[in-house]
C-alpha cells in the first residue's frame, strides 16, 4: 500500500514496521494453524487486491457486521461513511475509540471433494483487530478519501473532482492501524480420506477469479471523452 500519511496522527506515531506482525491470542486461529500467515508481504498483497471489507463492532451490546469500502495507506486502513452512521459516530464519541474487527477475503477456487465433509474453498483472507479513531485532520481526511477511490480503481482519484467543503463536512473517516493482524491462506486440491479415493465422484478445484466487463459510458457523458488507460487496463 502507499506510504504512511504525514498528517498528524492523534494516536501517536506508529512503530517502525518490521517484516511481520506479531501473533496474538486473537490472531492465532484455533483450526488449521498451518494456514496462518503473519508476514507483511502476504498481508499487504491480500489487502492491495481488495476494496471491499467487512467491519464488525458492537452496538448496544450486540454484534454488527457491515460491508464497506476501504483504502490502505502504509500501515493504516481508512473507512468512510456518513457523519451520522453509527460506527463512525461511535469512533468519535467512544473513549478511547471504537473496538472493531475488519476482514477481507478473496475466493480463489471451489474445492470439490469426494465426500461432502471435505468440500472447501481456496482462499486468501486478512483479519485486523484494533481500535478505530475518527480522522479530524483535513489533510489526512483528503488523503484517506483519495486512497478509498484509488483502492477501487488505481489512478482514479487524480482523474476526478476532489470533494468540496460541503462534501467533506458530510463525510466521516475512521482510521484503523495495522498492528494486530493475521492472514490465512488455503491452496491445493481436496483432502479426501484414503478410503474414499476410489469412489466414482468427480473431485478437484474449480478456479474462481474476478472479471471486469467493458466499461459502459454514462448516458450524459460528453462525446469524445475516451476510456482512461488505467480503466482499460482492468
Range among 4-18, 27-41, 86-100 rated most confident: 27-41
pLDDT tens sequence across 111-161? 999 999 999 999 999 999 999 999 989 999 999 999 999 999 999 999 999
Name the pLDDT band for 84 (thresholds 50, 70, 90): low
Name the pLDDT band for 34 (thresholds 50, 70, 90): confident
Cell numbers that stand for 203 in this block? 473431485
State yes or no: pLDDT of 226 exceeds 70.
yes
Q: What's the mean per-residue pLDDT of the chain?
A: 89
Listing DSSP states for the chain in one string gives: -BPPP-S--TT-PPPPP-SBPPP-TTTS-SS-GGGEE-BHHHHHHHHHT--EEEEEEEETTEEEEEEEEEEEETTEEEEEEETT-HHHHHHHHSSS-EEEEEEEEEEEEEEE-SSGGG-EEEEEEEEEEEEEEE---HHHHHHHHHHHHHHHSTT-GGGSPPP-HHHHHTEEEEEEESSEEEEEEE-SS----GGGTTSSS--EEEE-----------TTPPTTPPPPHHHHT-
- The domain spans of the chain are 33-209
Query: What is residue 11's predicted lDDT score, i.e. its pLDDT?
Result: 41
State yes or no: pLDDT of 33 exceeds 80.
yes
Task: Name the class of domain 33-209.
Answer: mainly beta
Tell me, yes or no, if the pTM score tops 0.75: yes
State yes or no: pLDDT of 79 exceeds 50.
yes
Amino acid at each position: 500500500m502507499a506510504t504512511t500519511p504525514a498528517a498528524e496522527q492523534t494516536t501517536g506515531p506508529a512503530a517502525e514496521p518490521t517484516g511481520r506482525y506479531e501473533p496474538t491470542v486473537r490472531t492465532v486461529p484455533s483450526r488449521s494453524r498451518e494456514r496462518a500467515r503473519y508476514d507483511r508481504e502476504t498481508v499487504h498483497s491480500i489487502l492491495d487486491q481488495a476494496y471491499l471489507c467487512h467491519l464488525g463492532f458492537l452496538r448496544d451490546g450486540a454484534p454488527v457486521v457491515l460491508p464497506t469500502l476501504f483504502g490502505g495507506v502504509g500501515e493504516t486502513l481508512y473507512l468512510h461513511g456518513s457523519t451520522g452512521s453509527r460506527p463512525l459516530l461511535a469512533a468519535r464519541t467512544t473513549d478511547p475509540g471504537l473496538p472493531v474487527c475488519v476482514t477481507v477475503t478473496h475466493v480463489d477456487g471451489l474445492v470439490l471433494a469426494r465426500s461432502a465433509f471435505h468440500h472447501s474453498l481456496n482462499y486468501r483472507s486478512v483479519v485486523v483487530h484494533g481500535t478505530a479513531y475518527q480522522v479530524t485532520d483535513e489533510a489526512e481526511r483528503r488523503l484517506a478519501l483519495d486512497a478509498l477511490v484509488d483502492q477501487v480503481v488505481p489512478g482514479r482519484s487524480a482523474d476526478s473532482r476532489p470533494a468540496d467543503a460541503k462534501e467533506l463536512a458530510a463525510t466521516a473517516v475512521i482510521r484503523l492501524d495495522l498492528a494486530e493482524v493475521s492472514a490465512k491462506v488455503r491452496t491445493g486440491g481436496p483432502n479426501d480420506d484414503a478410503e474414499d479415493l476410489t469412489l466414482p465422484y468427480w473431485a478437484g478445484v474449480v478456479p474462481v477469479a474476478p472479471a471486469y466487463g467493458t466499461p459502459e459510458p454514462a448516458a450524459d457523458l460528453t462525446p469524445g471523452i475516451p476510456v482512461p488507460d488505467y480503466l482499460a487496463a482492468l
